Amino acid sequence: MSALLNVNKMTHYFGGLRAVHNYNLNIEPLQITGLIGPNGAGKTTIFNLITGVYTPTEGSITLDNENIKGLETNEIASKGLGRTFQNLALWRHMNVLDHVKMAHYSQLSYGLVGSFFNTPKCRRQESKATENSYRLLELFDIKQHADQLVTSLPYGAQRRVEMARAMATNPKILFLDEPTAGMTPDELVQMIKIIRQVHQDFKVAIFLIEHRMKFVMELCQHIQTLVFGELIAEGPPEEIQNNPQVIEAYLGKEDVT
């Protein structure tokens, strides 16, 4: 049980609907894992279950051998689980710098009173957060947009803001929910580069949902295939690519005459 993140026999029901059934996941440090599956398979639900948006009906989730099932999302996030969203979830009235600064929330200890009276401790921690934010902005190549509203940025840059923001929470594992949704081929190549860079620079494990096979095959060391809430195949990319069950799930069954 040396895995960084371990999910064991997780099952979840929405009312009478079984959305996820007996789902298992092991993520080792520094591993890039992909989760693929047709629309409606429950991929995002699995993200939401692990990150604490929903609490799974059955099963266990541990991060660094510590139970995180049933904790609030913000607690799980501050334990080292950063994420991005399928449809960008940015704060539309906030500028780029503030986005990244905001993600330092759990690292602040000056408290409300500190913020009311702008105490030296508060100023010190705020300027440290600002400094760190600029470093991240530079890394993700969005420093020139620092004081712009996120809504005025091009789509690719917005995606990078989301990544920078997620990295500011100091995650051990980064969850990426369709990081290339709606991107042009150029932006896609750039995204692969960024994810590789994040992986190397921050030494994080990455767990991602993706539809584009090229992207998944190129990045991931381990791939899981989910259909109707159940894992049907798991293994290294080459194996998944040739797995008849996966092909069936994606392309449909051949008529046997």
Q: Tell me which residues touch other proteins (CB under 8 A).
A: 51-53, 72-74, 77-78, 82-83, 85, 89-94, 98, 101-106, 108, 110-112, 114-118, 122, 126, 129, 165-166, 168-169
Widest CA span in the chain: 79
Asked if residue 35 lies in contact with residue 207, where contact means CB atoms within 8 angstroms, the answer is: yes
Nearer to other proteins, 168 or 249 (CB): 168
CB of residue 54 vs other proteins: minimum separation in angstroms?
Answer: 12
81 sits in which H/E element? strand 81-83
Nearer to other proteins, 43 or 101 (CB): 101
CB of residue 209 vs other proteins: minimum separation in angstroms?
Answer: 15
Nearer to other proteins, 168 or 231 (CB): 168
Nearer to other proteins, 72 or 248 (CB): 72
Cβ-based neighbours of 46, under 8 Å, separated by 6 or more: 10, 20, 23, 35, 226
The full DSSP string for 5-28 is EEEEEEEEEETTEEEEEEEEEEE-
CB of residue 204 vs other proteins: minimum separation in angstroms?
Answer: 15
The full DSSP string for 221-245 is SEEEEEETTEEEEEE-HHHHHT-HH
Whole-angstrom distance, CA of residue 12 vs CA of residue 19: 6
CB of residue 185 vs other proteins: minimum separation in angstroms?
Answer: 28
CB of residue 151 vs other proteins: minimum separation in angstroms?
Answer: 10
Q: Which of 87, 49, 86, 88 is nearest to 70 (CA)?
A: 49
CB of residue 129 vs other proteins: minimum separation in angstroms?
Answer: 6
Whole-angstrom distance, CA of residue 172 vs CA of residue 64: 10
Whole-angstrom distance, CA of residue 196 vs CA of residue 37: 23
CA 146 from centroid of its chain's CA atoms: 23
Over the range 62-81, which residues count as b (16 or more CB within 10 Å of their CB) and which as e? bbeeeebbebeeeebbbbbb
Nearer to other proteins, 91 or 202 (CB): 91
Nearer to other proteins, 85 or 202 (CB): 85
Nearer to other proteins, 181 or 213 (CB): 181
CB of residue 236 vs other proteins: minimum separation in angstroms?
Answer: 30
Q: How buried is residue 61: exposed, middle or buried, by Cβ count under 10 Å (0-12/13-18/19+)?
A: buried
